[in-house]
Chain A
Amino acid sequence: MSRFLELLGHYNYFVTIFLMMAGLYVVIARGNMIKKLVGMSLFQTSVYLLYISPGKILGGTAPIVDARFAVYSNPLPHVLILTAIVVGVATLALGLALVVRINEAYGSVEEDEIFARDGKTRDGKTRDGETRDGES
Chain B
Amino acid sequence: MFHVAVIAVLVALVLAVFRALAGPGVFDRMLAANSIGSLAILLLAGLGFLNGRPEWLDIGITYGLLNAVSTLAVLKFFRHGDLAFDAEDEA
* Direct touch of chains A and B (CB < 8 A): yes
A residues contacting B by CB (< 8 A) are: 61-62, 64, 66, 68
The total number of A-B Cβ pairs within 8 Å is: 8
Residues on the B chain within 8 Å of A62, using CB: 53, 56
Chain B residues with CB under 8 Å of A64's CB are 53
Minimal beta-carbon separation of A55 from chain B (angstroms) = 16
Q: How far apart sit A45 and B56, CA to CA, in the bound complex (Å)?
A: 23
B66 CB → nearest A CB, Å: 12
* 8 A-B pairs with C-beta separation under 8 A: A61-B51, A61-B52, A61-B53, A62-B53, A62-B56, A64-B53, A66-B53, A68-B52
Q: Which of B1-57 contact A (CB under 8 A)?
A: 51-53, 56
* Whole-angstrom CA separation of A37 from B51 in the bound complex: 37
B52: which A residues are within 8 A, CB to CB? 61, 68
**How far in angstroms is the closest Cβ of chain B from A135?**
30
